[in-house]
Amino acid sequence: MSRIVVTTIGSLGDLHPKIALALELRDRGHDVVFATHKGYQAKIEALGFEFHPMRPDGTDDPLEIARMTDRKIGSEYAVRNWLLPSLRETYTDLMNAAKDADFLIAGEIVYAARLVAEKLRIRWASSALSPFSFLSAYDPSAIALFPFLAKLRVLGVPINQGIIQFLKTVTKSWATPIHQLRKELELPQLIGNPIIDDKFSPYLVLAMFSSVLAKPQPDWAKNTVITGFTFYDGNHNKTELSPKLQQFLDAGEPPLVFTLGSANVLNPGVFYQESVQAATQLHRRAVLLMGGNTLPENLPKDIIATDYVPYSKIFPHACAIIHQGGIGTTAQALQAGCPTLIIPYTYDQPDNAARVQRLGTSRTILREQYSALRVAKELSELLGNPSYAAKAVEIGRIIQAENGVMIACDAIEKQLKAIKLN
């Protein structure tokens, strides 16, 4: 039995895929420990895992969420004002959790993970939840900060390489705290940019998404394994829908399902108001997944609002899913075989939206264009063209046949065997 530390920073979309891994690794006899935001402690301990709080703490401040999810400044703000100011604390907390570990599995933005692994001289795996993480010149990504660059992707590899080099230059100064702490810890200085090209483990990179979204490319990190999605949404205990929601679903045609995931829902803006109007204009039934937002009163009888429902329970009932394009939500929608309308905010969301649109399962509108009239128009196109539903079902079957958890855990155990051989 090996002691494995799983560490991640971010939303439930970041945490849940790691929980899927942890449950399987525990079933295989390993001792799995979590190091993540204190706010996740109850969830993790309820599953029976040892928990270590790791800074920075998560935030539910709408103003902070708004800054972090802003298309123009979100990435820089999150790194410079949230992640890296806490780098020393993250390192200290993770070092405490990992001091007796045999192996470390790290989320992409846990910049302290490499420091801890190198200091403890243990093997580690990094993870990538979406193709955007790799910023390939051969399969270029849509970038929230520079949306116009997407138009240049057809110009070929040299142009795309130049774009990536430009991004490395833009973000170079962001990484200064990482370089400083490495020096203090007497670790070898990195040649590249730890925000972009030196963030991956040299031992194992888990690409925890389906190959329908992206295939391996020549400039991907070495030792990358595409596993397929690793699904967990709290439904491992076969949670039942509430009687009220079940009754609603049974009472009529498949509804539209509107959701903003677990992060963007903290700063919804006019999303839910416009969604209600769009559904009403289309004479469609709808389910609003509203998180901790106040549930609206006096909704039309064909629209129901609730705080949270496991996606795996509600998405298969939908005629279409309208969401923000986070990779967790995107994965669940693809698995459900349901067409989608995506309103990407920032980070990987514009790229996820572009990729599923190219699959033929989805349409995309800009966040600034989210109005009842525009949403109704896009949904009319989505639901009126049977090719979207047909393609969604086809892709759903592919993803349902994948077993990302098993492939990922097999790759991890291969690393554990290598440790024992050494």
Domain match, 283 and 348 both: yes
Q: How many domains does the chain have?
A: 2
Whether the per-residue pLDDT at 376 is higher than 90: the answer is yes
**pLDDT confidence of residue 238:** 61
Q: What's the predicted TM-score (pTM) here? A: 0.95
Of 113-122, 243-252, 291-300, 337-346, give the lowest mean pLDDT range: 291-300
Q: What's the pLDDT tens digit per position in 288-339?
A: 999 988 888 889 999 999 998 999 999 999 999 999 999 999 999 999 999 9
Task: Write down the pLDDT at residue 163.
Answer: 86
- Indicate whether 62 belongs to any domain: yes
Is residue 238 domain-resident? no
User: Is it the case that residue 151 has pLDDT exceeding 80?
Assistant: no
**Given a cut of 90, is residue 152 above it in pLDDT?**
no
Ordered strands of the 224-226 beta sheet = 50-53, 31-36, 3-7, 103-106, 123-128, 204-207, 224-226
Residues 197 and 335 in one domain: no
pLDDT tens-digit readout, 247-264? 999 999 999 999 999 888
Same domain, 306 and 408: no
Q: Would you state the pLDDT for residue 355?
A: 96
List the domain range (segments joined by +) for residue 310.
243-401
Judge whether 392 lies within some domain. yes
Residue 145 is predicted with a pLDDT of 72
Q: Tell me, yes or no, whether 234 lies in a domain.
A: no
Does residue 307 lie in a domain region?
A: yes
Same domain, 88 and 130: yes
Kindly report the CATH number assigned to the domain that includes residue 116. Answer: 3.40.50.2000
Q: Is the pLDDT of residue 156 over 90?
A: no
Residue 338 sits in the same domain as residue 412: no
pLDDT (tens digit per residue) in 192-210: 899 998 899 999 999 999 9
Does the pLDDT value for residue 221 go beyond 80? yes
